[in-house]
Amino acid sequence: MAYFIPKEYIDIDFKTLADKISAIKKRLNNNLLILGHHYQKDEVLQFCDKRGDSFALAKEAAGTSAGMIVFCGVHFMAETADIVSRDDQKVFIPDPTAGCFLADCANIQDIEKVWAKLTALTDTKIIPVTYVNSSAHLKAFTGKHGGLVCTSSNAEKALKKARQWGDKVFFFPDQHLGRNTAVKMDIPLARIKLWDPKQGLSIQEIEEAEIILWNGYCNVHQEFSSNYVDYLRNTYEGIKIIAHPECSYNVCQKSDFTGSTKEIIDMIEASPSGTIWGVGTEKHLVNRLQKEHKDKEIYFLQDYEPQCISMSQITENHLLYQLDQLSLGHEINRVMVEKETAADAKLALERMLKL
C-alpha cells in the first residue's frame, strides 16, 4: 500500500526541506519528540531527536513530556508509543500504511482460536509472550492472560519470567526469536514445538512442550542463509558473525553472537580496528555501519542487501508533510489505540518495562 503526499513535498530540494523541518522543530520545541528506528535511512534519522531499537524507543515514548510524538518507524512501534505514553500525548506516523510483515503473521482471531484449543487440551498453566512486533490486540490478549511483551533485547529475561509464572509459554508471532531464545536458555529442541496451523499439536506434543511457537517470521531476516555464513567463514579468516535473532535457527547457530539492532551496533563499535564482520540485519543499518566504520570490513550474510520496505516507506518528504500539517494544527496520521485494548496491552508492556 502507498500513502500519497502532495506533489510539492516530493519535488522539493533537500536543502529547502531540511531548513523547513528545522524551522518547524524550533517552533514546536519541547512539545515535539521525533523518534527514529535504526532501519530508517540517514536522510530521515538526521531529523530524529532519538534513535534506537524497539525497546529504547518504547522507553523514550514512556518517558517524554512532549505533547506530540512523531514516530519514524513501523505501525506497531507507533501503537506501542501510544499505549505507553500519557492520555494527553499524541502519537503520529508519517506514513500510516508502514506495517510490518512479521506483525501481520498473526491476528487476534487466530491467536484466540489456538489459545482456546491449547487451554482445552492441557491443565498446565500457559503464559502468553508476544514479541513487540505485533498488533495492539495481541498485546492486549497477552496482558489479559497474565503474560508479557518482549523485544529482541530482552526476550530471554521475558521468557525466564514467564516460566516462573507458569508451566509453558505460548510465544508469538516470531517463531525464530522464540526458538533462538529458548535454545539459548538450554531448552532442548524437542521441547520447542511449532504450532502447525493445519494440524495443530497432539495432546502428547503439548504435554512435552516447554514453549509453543506461532509460525510467523520476518521476510527480511529470513533472507540470510547459513550457507552464506559458511562461505564468509571460508573466505575471510577470523571473521565474526553477528545476527539479529529474527534470523533462522541455522543462521543463529552458526553466528558468534546474536543481538538486537542496538546490540549489533554496540558490538561492532566496540570491536578493534581491522575486525571483519558478517552481519545479519537490515540494509540501512548495515550500510550505516559500513560507512561509519571504514577501519573494519562489514559484510551482509547474503550476496545482496535485504531491505525492510515498510521502514523505507517513511521518507524525509513524508516527515516534512507530517510536521508541516502539525504546525498548522492538522493532526493527520494520528495513531490511537482504543481505550480498552490499550489498557490490557499496557499491562503486558509494563511487565516488560519492569524486567
Residues engaged in binding ligand SF4 (CB under 6 A): 74, 100-102, 133, 218, 220, 246, 282, 308, 310-311
Q: What is the C-alpha to C-alpha distance for residues 149 and 128, in angstroms, rounded to an integer? A: 9
Q: Minimum CB separation from ligand SF4 for residue 218, in Å?
A: 3
**Of the candidates 260, 310, 322, 333, which one interacts with ligand 13P according to CB under 6 A?**
260
| Residues recorded for the chain | 355
Q: Which three cell numbers stand for residue 132?
A: 513487540
- Least Å distance, CB 135 to ligand SF4, is 12
C-alpha cell at 238: 577470523
Could you say which residues in the range 137-176 bind ligand 13P, by CB under 6 A? Answer: 151-152
288 interacts with, out of ligand 13P, ligand SF4, none, CB within 5 to 8 A per kind: none
With residue 339 as reference, give the H or E element that holds it: helix 339-353
- Is residue 133 within the footprint of ligand 13P (CB under 6 A)? yes
Return the number of the residue (168 or 216) whose C-beta is nearest ligand 13P.
Answer: 216
Peptide bond into 188 cis (omega under 30): no
Q: What grid cell was written down for 337?
A: 489505540
Shorter beta-carbon distance to ligand SF4: residue 128 or 280: 280
Out of 105, 218, 319, 347, which residue is the one contacting ligand 13P (CB under 6 A)? 218
Q: Which stretch binds ligand 13P (CB under 6 A): 5-13, 52-60, 107-115, 324-332?
A: 52-60
Instruction: Quote the cell numbers at residue 125.
Output: 498453566
Q: Dihedral sign for Cα 261, 352, 129, 134, please.
A: negative
> Is 218 or 342 the residue whose CB approaches ligand 13P more closely?
218
At CA 225, angle to CA 176 and CA 40, rounded to 5?
70
Residue 53 binding target from ligand SF4, ligand 13P, none, CB below 5 to 8 Å by type: ligand 13P
SS3 at position 273: coil
For 83, the grid coordinates are: 499505549
Q: Is residue 40 part of the contact set for ligand 13P (CB under 6 A)? A: no
> Residue 18: which of 246, 323, 333 has the closest Cα?
323
What, of ligand SF4, ligand 13P, none, does residue 101 touch, CB below 5 to 8 Å by kind?
A: ligand SF4
SS3 state at 234? helix
Which listed range, 27-35, 48-56, 291-299, 346-354, lies at the site for ligand 13P (CB under 6 A)? 48-56
Which residue number, 305 or 331, has a Cβ lying nearer to ligand SF4? 305
The entry of ligand 13P, ligand SF4, none near residue 311 (CB within 5 to 8 angstroms by kind) is ligand SF4
Pick from 112, 46, 132: nearest CA to 320:
46
**Is 261 among the residues that bind ligand 13P (CB under 6 A)?**
yes
Are the C-beta atoms of 255 and 230 separated by less than 8 Å? no
CB 258 within 8 A of CB 245: yes
Pick the closer one to ligand SF4 by CB: 89 or 302.
Answer: 302
The nearest distance, CB 185 to ligand SF4, in angstroms, is 22
Q: Per CB under 6 A, does 79 bind ligand 13P? A: no
Q: Which residues bind ligand 13P (CB under 6 A)?
A: 38, 53-55, 133, 151-152, 218, 244, 246, 260-261
